[in-house]
Amino acid sequence: MQNALVFVVSTLLDLLVIAFILRLVLGWVRADFRNPLAQLIIKVTNPLVIPARRIIPPAGSFDTATLIVLLVLQTSATAILMQLSCIGAPQVDQVFVLGLLRLVHVVLNVYFWLLIIYVLSSWLAPGGYNPALALLSKVVEPLLAPLRRVIPVIAGLDLSPIAAFLIIGFLERLIPARIPLAGLVCVPF
User: Given this model, what pLDDT does residue 182 score?
Assistant: 38
Within 10 A of 172 (CB to CB), how many other CB atoms are there? 15
More confident residue, 88 or 134: 134
| Among candidate residues 140, 139, 115, the one with its CA nearest the CA of residue 31 | 139
* 132, pLDDT greater than 60: yes
What's the pLDDT score for residue 94?
80
What is the value of pTM for the model shown?
Answer: 0.84
Q: Tell me what pLDDT residue 161 has.
A: 93
SS3 per-residue string spanning the chain: CHHHHHHHHHHHHHHHHHHHHHHHHHHHCCCCCCCHHHHHHHHHHHHHHHHHHHHCCCECCECHHHHHHHHHHHHHHHHHHHHHCCCCCCCHHHHHHHHHHHHHHHHHHHHHHHHHHHHHHHHHCCCCCCHHHHHHHHHHHHHHHHHHHHCCCECCECCHHHHHHHHHHHHHHHCCCCCCCCCCCCCCC
Q: Express each pLDDT in 61-120 by its tens digit.
A: 788 999 999 999 999 998 888 888 766 666 788 888 888 988 999 999 999 999 999 999
Residues of the chain with pLDDT > 90, as a percent, come to 47
Query: Tell me, what's the pLDDT at 86?
Result: 65
**Residues facing residue 62 across a β-bridge:** 59
Residue 176 is predicted with a pLDDT of: 77
Over range 50-69, report the average pLDDT. Answer: 90
Residue 177 confidence (pLDDT): 55
